Homo-oligomer: A and B are copies of this chain.
């Protein structure tokens, strides 16, 4: 049993949803795109539907059927990429709500599924998804006659509360929508934390559910335990791993553990990563390889069967910092090889 273990705390995900829900008067949806940031959309959507979530967001139509199967017909599933060529059957068969991003998408939707609900995304300055203000003006009348389910936008800098872009996008969103009675949505996790002005009718938390910044009060969701395959003594001057990039400066005890970059432990981390035996830090030595990592366990007093890479006190954002990225990418990279265990406490 040398497969690494990924433990996912569904109770923590529920608690994070409740905590974010409590921060606003708006309805709180749940973002389960990218297979719930790699943690399993079926499990997460089931748990959050029980908790009270009634709207779920996926990135692409192909992600929706698993969510629909998990949560049944009583909830709404929105597709952030909108209605693309080839999505029509999926949208109809699984009763999905495409969030329309362009005039082209609106015309396609109206032509192919005239009675199917849809939402609208407006671009308020991020220039990523959504209609430009001028596009919106051009199709506004047509769209409003069809009573969109939702009108939304997305903040580019919500993780930086003081960034002037937040107020700027808020103002553009208000200018474009203040006269509308359609439900409005602007904020994901970061926007929820910016305060009530940003909440409107529906919030769409993602990363906060999964225990990541910018929701610093989030409960930790993920634990990664990696089995030790063998331990050896290396003498001064011996090297460990590919390319001989690490050489023992003094005699050391080195464990080889059974995970690597194929498990989303980025190769560039190398010695920037630390594993833990209880509270004892065990630095990575040498290069991370595909399935294996060398770890200095000289300070570990009792031999251990596994080491932890991510746990409650050293979470995804700590590892992200070491890797020069963000907690989101740590989660989505964990990959399919782990033995996954879902716990509810």
Chain A: interface secondary structure? loop
Which B-chain residue is minimally distant from A4 (CB atoms)?
B60
Give every chain B residue within 8 A of A73 (Cβ-Cβ). Answer: none
Give every chain B residue within 8 A of A82 (Cβ-Cβ). Answer: 2, 229
| Interface hit among A20-28, A97-105, A143-151 | A97-105
| Interface hit among A111-119, A123-131, A217-225, A311-319 | A123-131
Q: B1 near A242 (CB under 8 angstroms)?
A: no
Other contacts beyond A81-B229, A128-B289: 9, CB < 8 A: A2-B81, A2-B84, A35-B336, A63-B337, A125-B239, A127-B239, A129-B229, A290-B329, A333-B335
Q: A127 near B254 (CB under 8 angstroms)?
A: yes
Q: B127 near A264 (CB under 8 angstroms)?
A: no
Given A3-B62, A126-B240, A261 contacting B229 (CB threshold 8 A):
no
Is A249 on the interface with B (CB-CB < 8 A)?
no
Interface size class of A (residues with CB under 8 A): 35 or more
How close is A124's CB to chain B, nearest CB, in angstroms? 12
In the complex, what distance in Å separates the CA atom of A238 from the CA atom of B239? 50
Against B, the Cβ 8 Å flags (1 = close, 0 = not) of A315-345 are 0000000001110110011011101000000
Q: B101 near A229 (CB under 8 angstroms)?
A: yes
In the complex, what distance in Å separates the CA atom of A99 from the CA atom of B115? 61
Given A105-B230, A157-B242, A267-B326, A60 contacting B333 (CB threshold 8 A):
no
Cβ contact of A268, chosen from B258, B291, B324, cutoff 8 A = B324
